[in-house]
Every structure is written in C-alpha cells, then in structure tokens.
Amino acid sequence: MGERAIDPMVPRVARVVRRRRDGPQTWTLEIIEEGAADTGFAPGQFNMLTAFGVGEAPISLSGDPAMPARLIHTIRAVGPVSGALIRLGPGQPVGLRGPFGSGWPIDQMAGRDVVILAGGLGLAPLRPVVYRLLAQRPRYGQLTLLYGARSPGEILFRREIENWRRRLDIDIAVTVDHAVGEWHGHVGVVTALVPRAAFDPPHAIALVCGPEIMMRFATAALRDAGLAEEAIYLSLERNMKCAVGFCGHCQLGPLLVCRDGPVFRYDRLRGLLAKREI
C-alpha cells in the first residue's frame, strides 16, 4: 500500500517535552512529534498549534533549523488559545499543523551585510535566521542585531543574546522603551539604533519583525539609511485560520499572509501597511 497522504487541515498529535518562561506571560515550548520524519523548516515559517478543547493559533518557529526534530515555539498569552498553550506541561498533547509559509531569504544574504531589526516578540521568528547565519558565519558580511523591548524584564532570550555578543562576530544593540531597576543600556525606540549601526547600505539586506507600527517606522529608518526597498523584508502576523490560503481571514489587500508570506519583500507591501482599514 502507498503511504497515506497527510491532510494539511488535520492536526497531528505532538507532545510537549519542555516548557520555559521567557518573560511576563511569555513561554517557550519544545514539542516533539513522535515517529515523524525530520522534514525540517525554513527560518521564518510558522506552525498551527492546537490547544485541544480550546482552539488553534499560528505560532512562529523560534528554534534552531539545524535541529528540526525539536520544534520550538515562543508564545505570549494574548487570548484563550495562546493562554491555554502556555499552560501545557511536559507530556501533554498539542495539535500540530505545518510548517507553513515563506521563510527569510537566506540565499540572497550570501556575501552581504545583514541587519536584523526586531521588536518585542518579533525576535522569536528571527531567532532561527540568527542561528543559521552564525552557523555559516563566513558566508556573510557584517551581521547586526537591533532589538527593542518594552522593559528590561521583557527582553527575550537574554542569556542567548549575551552569548551571541561574546562571539565578537555579530554587533548587537538592545534598547528598552522604559528603563527600570538597574538597566544601564539604551532607552528609546529600536528604530533610533539604525543610524548607529555599521553596515554598507548598497550591499546590505534587512530583516524586520515586530508590531506593524514599529515595522512602518523601521522601514522608513532603513530607507533613510540608504537601503533599497528591494533589500528590506518584513514578517507579518495576521489572523490566520486555515494556513493554506483557503479561508481568507489573513487577507491584506491582494495578499494572503499565510499563503504569500508571512515574510514579504517590502516593495510588495508598499502602501498596504499604511492603510489602517486593511
């Protein structure tokens, strides 16, 4: 008998193996699908995760693409489904569909400077591309990570960022909107870090993820710094339901984020992000 085709609309059953807190109402889950082939995922893709009895939500993959059997998802509780997902503990089942969507343009980055600009939870879908770039460091020029969080307590992957800094082959700047406690770093919006970053605009490519208003200002700052629209890529987060371009919930003008994205080159989005109605 031939191998049974997998229906992309039917969740497979996986199990949580680890759960770690990464910030206020933010947890990272590691899940494993027993007996599944390690098909891998591209940095920037997402899975649909089901909290059985509650619902399903799109969650970006935030782990190392070199270890595809370990499916890592960083989740902030903002509603019933995400709240149920972060409460799952080791051994508990979770529904899994995916991976879906387009990834970051890894091939186009070879030989170029790479600027990674993240806001808040937007660092999660960018972390896999950082893993990939650092694993193949000689292929790229200057690497820069600019990251902004609301407060020091909301900085994601703090220990990992500190480890990346110690490598001395990636420039990292972190800023917070509001300084509290013993924070002595940058204070202000993440876009203010762009003019200080060391990269060669004609030979650079930028990857951006965060709240949509942050991405609008980030794109403007990058263009002011000399990057072409064709060299800027954004990852969007919309209300995805089917993940295969069927239901239309994630429509953005002529685009469906689940099918055509979530990673888009900026010139494909020109004008769309500025229209609040869509």
Instruction: Give the residues across from 113 on adjacent strands.
Output: 204
CATH number of the domain at 106-269, please? 3.40.50.80
Query: pTM of whole model > 0.75?
Result: yes
Q: Which CATH architecture has domain 12-100?
A: Beta Barrel (2.40)
pLDDT tens per residue, range 196-210: 999 999 999 999 999
Domain boundaries, the chain: 12-100, 106-269
CB-based contacts of 177, cutoff 8 Å, min separation 6: 148, 149, 150, 151, 187, 188, 189
**Alpha carbons 116 and 147: distance in angstroms, whole number:** 8
- The pLDDT, as a whole number, for residue 59 is 97
- The pLDDT, as a whole number, for residue 276 is 60
pLDDT tens per residue, range 237-268: 877 889 998 998 888 889 999 999 999 999 99
- The pLDDT, as a whole number, for residue 4 is 45
Residues of the chain whose pLDDT is less than 70?
Answer: 1-5, 37-38, 274-278
The number of C-alpha atoms within 13 Å of 25 and in the hemisphere containing its C-beta is 11
- The pLDDT, as a whole number, for residue 127 is 98
Question: Residues 63, 125, 20, CA angle at the centre, nearest 5°?
Answer: 50
Within its chain, how far is the Cα of 229 from the centroid? 20
